[in-house]
Amino acid sequence: MTDRLTILKTYKLFIGGKFPRTESGRSIKVADALGAVVAHTCRSSRKDLRNAVEAAEKAQPGWASANAYLRGQILYRMAEMLEGKRDELATAISITGKVSKDTAGAEVDASVDRLVAFAGWADKYPQILGCHNPVTGPYYNFSVPEPTGVVGVICPDEPSLLGLVSLVAPVICSGNAAVLLASETNPIPACVLGEVLATSDLPGGVVNILTGLRDELVEQFATHRAIDGVLAAGVSDEHRKALEAGAAENMKRVRVLDLGPDPAAGFADDAVMESPWTIEPFVETKTIWHPVSS
């Protein structure tokens, strides 16, 4: 029996619920701990980013107007499907050799738990972030949080899956759409997540996944006028400054989270990552006046 030729998988982008190839035609090799190439991913271009933003813009109004309880159900369904791909995701996380298979499995479990947490917050966070304001006169005055719009999400290299889920879950549970740039050193877990989302109940375009290099795309995230906010973690000081400088021109919100001393273990303030206050930076407060009926 002759030996078979190993067929390496080339992961595509996830834009608008579909899997297009990058328009640039470029790819990036992903290697294991021994340096052997195990897969190829797309090297996204500025045009790919524009396409992803357009898909997010199209999907966001319908997602924002969906019943909050339904959004929570959809996030919970995403968690169920992630649980079903536990072994595949653990293998994807550990493929570069930076973490063990057991540690990778624990990361998948934490990612599932985080999705479940924000599924629960989807119809409850307005009660925390909103309020009934005391006013003088025959009026009711309410402050109500509403989604910002399209949010760019720049994921840390590690943890490659939990970092992604921790950033995107609070963004989409409130009705925003997301365009995310996956881990640069190991984008495969993000690509597998795209395959999960494609068969979930999440409307196409609510989450769009790009793979590529931060040096080529960070500035575009900051300056693109249709991106209403940027959430990032694990970026360099140079990229942080680029995000803040670019956003100053179009007044988008930028929030950069810090990782702990061991990046693979999670965030510096991991205990509050499931708090509704992680939702707050990317919602707008709308104040409503209503007369009191006599």
Q: Cα(101)–Cα(87) distance, rounded to whole angstroms?
A: 9
CA distance 102 to 57: 39
Amino acid 64: pLDDT: 97
CB-neighbour burial class of residue 274 (10 A; exposed 0-12, middle 13-18, buried 19+): middle
Specify the range with the lowest mean pLDDT, choosing from 1-5, 150-154, 210-214, 254-258.
1-5
Q: Indicate the helix (H) or strand (E) that contains 151.
A: strand 150-154
What the block records as the tokens of 18 is 């579909």
Which CATH code for domain 9-291? 3.40.605.10
Whether 8 has a pLDDT exceeding 90, the answer reads no
Read off φ and ψ for residue 182, nearest 5 degrees.
-75, 170
Per residue in 101-128, pLDDT (tens digit) is: 899 999 999 999 999 999 999 999 998 8
Q: How many CA atoms within 13 Å lie on the side-chain side of 106?
A: 8
Among 17, 130, 16, 15, smallest CA distance to 68 is for 130
At residue 171, the pLDDT reads 97
pLDDT of residue 45: 96
Q: Is the peptide bond before 291 cis (omega within 30 degrees of 0)?
A: no
User: Which residue from 14, 26, 165, 183 is spatially nearest to 98, judged by alpha carbons?
Assistant: 183
Tell me the pairing of strands 9-11 and 37-42.
Answer: parallel
For 57-104, how does the pLDDT look when each residue is reduced to its tens digit (9 = 90+)? 999 999 999 999 999 999 999 999 999 999 999 999 998 888 888 999
pTM of the model as a whole: 0.92
Do 156 and 233 contact (CB within 8 A), yes or no?
A: yes
pLDDT in tens, 197-233: 999 999 999 999 999 999 999 999 999 999 999 999 9
Taking the C-alpha atoms of residue 6 and residue 43, their distance in angstroms, rounded to an integer, is 22
Record the tokens describing residue 144, joined without a space.
């109500």
Each residue of 279-294: b (16+ CB within 10 Å) or e?
bbebbeeeeeeeeeee
Does 21 have pLDDT greater than 90?
yes
Q: Between vectors from CA 105 to CA 230 and to CA 31, what angle results, nearest 5°?
A: 70
Average pLDDT over residues 19-23: 95
The strand pair at 131-132 and 139-147 is best described as antiparallel
H/E element, 99:
none
Q: Is the pLDDT of residue 172 over 60?
A: yes
What is the mean predicted confidence (pLDDT) over 40-47?
Answer: 96
Residue 1 has pLDDT above 60, yes or no: no
**What pLDDT is attached to residue 34?**
85
Q: pLDDT (tens digit, 9 = 90+) per residue, 222-278?
A: 999 999 999 999 999 999 999 999 888 888 999 999 887 776 667 766 667 888 999
Q: Are strands 27-31 and 9-11 parallel, antiparallel or unpaired?
A: unpaired
